[in-house]
Structure formats: C-alpha cells, structure tokens
Amino acid sequence: MSPALPGPHFPSPAPVTYLKPPDAELFADAYAFSAQAHAGQFRKDGEPYITHPLAVAEILADWRMDVQTLAAALLHDVVEDCGISREDVEKRFGSSVANLVDGVTKLDKLQFEDKAQAQAENFRKMLLAMAQDVRVILIKLADRLHNMRTLEAMREDQRQRIAQETLEIYAPIANRLGLNNFYRELEDLAFKYLHPTRYRVLDKAINAASLNRQEILEKLRSAIDAKLKDCKIEAVVYGREKHLYSIYRKMQEKSLAFTEVFDIYGLRVIVEDARNAYLALGALHSLYKPIPGKFKDYIAIPKANGYQSLHTTLFGPFGAPVEVQIRTQEMHRLAEAGVASHWLYKTGEAEFSEAQKKTHQWLQSLLDIQADSRDSVEFLEHIKVDLFPDEVYVFTPKGQIMAMPRGATAVDFAYSVHTDIGNHCVAAKINGDYMPLSTPLKNGDRLEIITSESARPNPAWIHFAATGKARAHIRNALKSTHRHESGALGRQLLSQALRALGTGLGEVNDSQWEQLSKVTGKNREDTLVEIGLGKRLAYVVARQLAARDADTDLGRAAGPMLIRGAEGVAVRLGKCCRPIPGDPIIGQIRKEQGLIIHTHDCAQVRHYREDPDKWVDVEWDPELDRVFDVNIRVTVANKRGVLATVATTISNEGSNIDDVHMEEEAGAFTNLYFTVQVQNRLHLARMMRALRGLPEVVRITRMRGRHDGRGTSVT
C-alpha cells in the first residue's frame, strides 16, 4: 500500500526544473514514500530525518542527474532504517531504482567478526555495485558530503572515525572519479574534524591574509588578460584559491611555513580549444619567465581520471611563484564534475567521453581485484592502494602511454597489461636495458616485459607490487599454486598410507569418497589439500576410506616417499638444517605448512621422532637434476687475495656462490661464511677437500641453519 502524502510539518523539496512531467511525478512519489517511511525519525541535530535524503537528492540535482538517481537518493535509507524491503522498492519504483538503493544500503544485518571487517564488507559491496553502475557511488558521495556538513551533532569519537574514513576512502574516490569540488570539500571537512585546532589556526591565517592576496591576484589576472588580448586569444582568466587541506598537506609534506605556501598564487585560464591552450601557454611564458621543471602537459597525457589541463609555474612580478592552469571549457567541466559530467552535459545517450571510458575501465578492474581477494579486508586494502592518484606515465614497446601510480614497479606494469603477462613475467627491459621486476618506474620509461611459460609469481613480489590489481593477482596465483601443490602432496601421502593397508588410491571408488565426504563435510580435492597442509592425517583418512579397524598396525611397510627438492611450497627443505642429497632425512608434517624435510640429527625434530603421527618416512630420489644450498664456514689466515683464492677454488669444483659474509676473529684469522650450491653430499665433500688443500685455509666447517656465524657447526 502506498504511504500517504506527508503532512505540512515535512520540508518541501525544491522543484527539479529539468525533469520532464512523468519524471517529476516519480520524484514527488519517491519523496512522499520516503517522508512517510521516515515519519517520527529525527537526526542527531533534531531535524526531521527526511531532511537528509532530501539534501542528498538536491546535491545530485545540481548535477542534473536522472530521475532514477534522484529517487534512489530519497529512498537510500528506507531499506536500512525503516523495515521496507528491496522488493517493496522495486514494486513501487522499478528495478533500476531498487538496484541503486541496494548498492548504497549497508550490511548491518549480517554478522561480522569485528567492526573493521564490517566496514570492509560494506565498502566491498558498495564498490562492486559501483562497478555495475557508477550512479551508486555518486549517491554515496552525496550522502557522505551531507553527513560531513552536519557532523557537528555527532559524538567526538564518531566524528573522528567518520572523518578518518572520509579522508581515506571517500575523498580519494571522488578524486579518482574526477569530482574535484566534492573532493576538495570532503577533504576540508575531514580536516576540520580530525584536527580542529590546526583547522581554526589555518582558517584564521587565510582570512587575515586574503584581502592583500586578492589585490595581488587581481593585478596578476589583469596583466595576463591584457597579454592574451594582445595575442588575440579569447580567454576567461580568474584567480583560484587553494583549499585548506591542500595547504596543510603541502606544509606537512615539504616542511614549509604557512607564508611559504600561501605566497604561491593560482590562476586559471579558460580558452576555446586545445590549440589556443598551447598558444596561451606561449603568451604567458613571454610575459613571465617559467620556473624550470614546473610544466606539466595533461592535455597530451591526461590523468587516469580523465583530467586535462596545462600546468605551468611562473616567476611573478612580486617575486612569488604563480601557478597557472590552462584548459578548454569542456576540460573545465570535466575537471569539476568528473564522471557526473556525462549527465550534466551529455549530447547523446550512448556518447561517452574518454574520461568515462577510463573510469569504466577502472570500475571493471574492481571486479578483477574482488575475484582475486581472499576477503573484504584484503579487497579494501587493495582498493586503497589504487585510490591515491599521483601518477607516472610510461610507454609500451608500441608507444602507447600508460598511467601508473607513483611507486609502481615493472611487475605492476606487467599486470596492468594483462594478468597472464604478470603471472609469467621474469624480467623487464626498461629503456632497452634488462632490469629486475622490482625496479620503480619513472616518467617517460619505455617498458617491455620478458615472459616465460614456466614462470610463476614469486611471493617476494607482494613486497614491491604497488597496485591493487597486481597484489590481488599475485596473492591469488600463490594461493592457487599452494593449493595445487598441497593437493599433490596429499595424494602422495594418502597413497603411501593406503599401500600400508594393502590397497591403493586407484582402488578407492567414488562411493567410498562420497561416504567420507558425508563424515568430514569435505570433497575429495579439499581432503587431499588438507592432508598436504597437515590439517588432516593421511593414515586416518586411509582407515576411513579402507574401512579398517582403528587398531590396524600400519607399520611403515608402504616404503618411503621420494624427495626431489623441487616440489614447491607444499614440500620444503628445513632452513634449520639445510639437508642435501646424501644426508639421512625425515619428513615432518606441519599444520598449514605441509611437509618439511629435515636431516635425521636436526635438533628441531628430535622430540617428534617418538610420535609416528608427526613424521613421514622419506628418502632422496636417486635421479636428481638440481642444486641445493648449503652453508659453510672457512677460517683463513689474513692474507691479501685470500677471498678470491677461496672463491676461485669453490668455482673450480663446479659450485656457485650464492652469498658470502666475512667476520674477523681476534688475531690473524678471518671467518668466511659462504652459501654455496652443490648437487649432493659427495659434491660438497669434494669441494671441502679442495679447500682444505689451500695453505691459507685453517679450518672448514659445514654450518646448519644460519650462515652468519650463529648456526650450528657440523664438521
């Protein structure tokens, strides 16, 4: 049943003059519905609650948004706060409005482990809804802007939390979408509540300096206007004020005093077209000398959010820098309204600017990041990385320009080109030179990514990947690899346990697996992964599958598992003892880590030897084709060239040196600690014999564990 029209005590909405009559009726109906639903509800400042959705709709009406967006703005809290279902909204106002309301609605009815997870899940839902329809975030930003304008009525702790959230998430999103006015006001309001004293001091200083400043700006504006007229360039010139938070941030980042920041004057020049923008730039450079290194051409290379303008900084007539932005009217519209300019100035339903296309690409990338994130908290972490738009511009081998966030590395570039290129990259050619994937990118770099079909992402990449997309894909690939390798290990362990029972994995039929799944709640693949990760014991699963009595003596009749040392993350060689082929070894099952291989005499596994459930019988595969790291300590006499002599001997014995560390002893001796690569124990013994034959070598020892002199010595 439709709610009755609100009574006279409700505020009336201002007429939305650009709406056609049928749309105006829908808007009025949405207002009546929302006013009735919120009847009896009041905001913290005592105002009727309907004033909030009405204010949100009015903000969006300033952008000339369509009626579905305005209706959703009026209704955005009715599902969350008034017990009205999404179905009720859809039945009354259609699926488009209902989808927008649903995208904005929080997930308060779900249970989360903590507030951080709840907040992250709310953002995840909102951002994914935004990827489907950008109007969701426009409503949410308008909602946040009005809440920030009326934040005074909230408790101090709530003001701090909401302001911090605004500064970390909503203001950067507004900036990323090119909504400059929103971005500036949200930052200033957040600054006001996060640092009220600093805000008041800075605001007072700006007001005190403004009168004299306005006089100087007017003189600059007149001089520039006259110069452009002399050059027959039609333009509108006006001064622009820096917003409070940008002044504060500049003071913080560059350790400047207020007078140093505020002595920079800003002007904006609006011209007819891009050609006149460059002509105006030349005219200004002939009027005042440009400051070297302070010119940026965002017309030729737009920012990621579509922003276009020429930026230059000039030596002004009063000895102070003058920052000038030169742009066309269309560029200015886009700079102020961002993606909303599609509704403000569209000339055709299907016509999108380059900015909208770039925004759409970014929104679609959110879906990729979501698919590769473990949970909402990780998703939010990846998104925050992408929300700070300080960019560098690099070139593909074909000369295409790509914008990357400042701090991005070659591996970020690889993933931005294509996920498969990122997953299989091994190196990068930057400006023609081979460079590691961790190399930070600089403006103008030309990149080519070198790939290999056998290459896989390295866990170390997480530490230098700067984009959310790269980090999400790397983690997902590592997770998939870990799962695959753990499953393979679990299959080996289960097969070994079944052989001890006189059967084999191939003899277990689907019916037996189904019976096991009913008991454990896990399917076959999950069970094998959990065995490989040490979460489930292979012999217990084997008994369940074979339906044997729990007292059956398994023994160790199945024979040892063969270790090649290259099984991946599910089978690892213990760093505590660094086993190599030829060493007697034992396998230790560690929960979440898989199978760790130790030497028999390793101190780490002595207390496990009495518990057969914690170890696996293993031995080296006789056909090995790889090298293994081993640490040795060589005590030598202090003589010139001794390090080179020892290193040459190691190399002559067919061993590569991976690391070296020196430590002087008291007296005439030095300890050299090497990490060398050998094929097996015989290879190591041969190399050590060669080193003992050197007259400079006093003692040589194989080290267990660390190579810095604090490991365990084994001669």
Residue with the bigger pLDDT between 168 and 28: it is 28
Q: Is 456 helix (H, G, I), strand (E, B) or coil?
A: coil
pLDDT in tens, 493-511: 888 878 777 788 888 888 8
E strands within 316-438?
321-328, 391-395, 401-405, 425-430, 433-435
Residue with the bigger pLDDT between 11 and 614: it is 614
* C-alpha–C-alpha distance, residues 128 and 165, integer Å: 18
Range 83-111 average pLDDT: 78
Burial of 389 (0-12, 13-18, 19+ CB in 10 A): middle
pLDDT of res. 367: 61
* C-alpha–C-alpha distance, residues 200 and 192, integer Å: 8
Position of tokens 């040795």? 632
DSSP 137-169: HHHHHHHHHHHHHTGGGS-HHHHHHHHHHIIII
Q: Does 341 score more than 60 pLDDT?
A: no
Range 324-340 average pLDDT: 80
Indicate if 80 belongs to the active site.
Answer: yes
Q: Does 707 score more than 60 pLDDT?
A: no
pLDDT of res. 3: 38
pLDDT of res. 216: 82
pLDDT of res. 72: 92
Catalytic residue among 23, 29, 80, 653: 80
pLDDT in tens, 527-559: 888 777 767 777 668 877 876 444 444 444 456
Q: Does 694 score more than 90 pLDDT?
A: yes
Task: List, in order of start, the domains of the chain with CATH numbers.
Answer: 21-196 (1.10.3210.10), 206-338 (3.30.460.10), 364-383+391-475 (3.10.20.30), 483-573+590-612 (no CATH), 628-714 (3.30.70.260)
Q: Does 268 score more than 50 pLDDT?
A: yes
Burial of 114 (0-12, 13-18, 19+ CB in 10 A): exposed
Residue with the bigger pLDDT between 403 and 170: it is 170
pLDDT in tens, 355-371: 555 565 666 666 666 66
Catalytic residue among 47, 66, 81, 241: 81
* C-alpha–C-alpha distance, residues 447 and 19, integer Å: 50
* C-alpha–C-alpha distance, residues 501 and 548, integer Å: 8
**Window from 36-40, 164-168, 376-380 with minimum mean pLDDT:** 376-380
pLDDT in tens, 223-267: 999 999 999 999 999 887 778 888 888 888 777 777 777 667 789
pLDDT of res. 275: 93
Q: Does 374 score more than 70 pLDDT?
A: no
Ranked by mean pLDDT, the top range of 373-377, 528-532, 614-618, 651-655 is 651-655
pLDDT of res. 4: 39
pTM, entire model: 0.54
Position of tokens 């207390």? 607
Residue with the bigger pLDDT between 560 and 341: it is 560
Q: For all residues of the chain together, what is the average pLDDT?
A: 79
SS (H, E, C) 560-571: CEEECCCCCCCE
Confidence of residue 66 (pLDDT cuts 50, 70, 90): confident
* C-alpha–C-alpha distance, residues 356 and 359, integer Å: 5
Closest to 131 (Cα-Cα) out of 383, 381, 306, 348 = 383
**Window from 38-42, 44-48, 74-78, 454-458 with minimum mean pLDDT:** 454-458
pLDDT of res. 5: 42
Range 674-694 average pLDDT: 93
Q: By the 8 A CB rule, do 340 and 179 touch?
A: yes
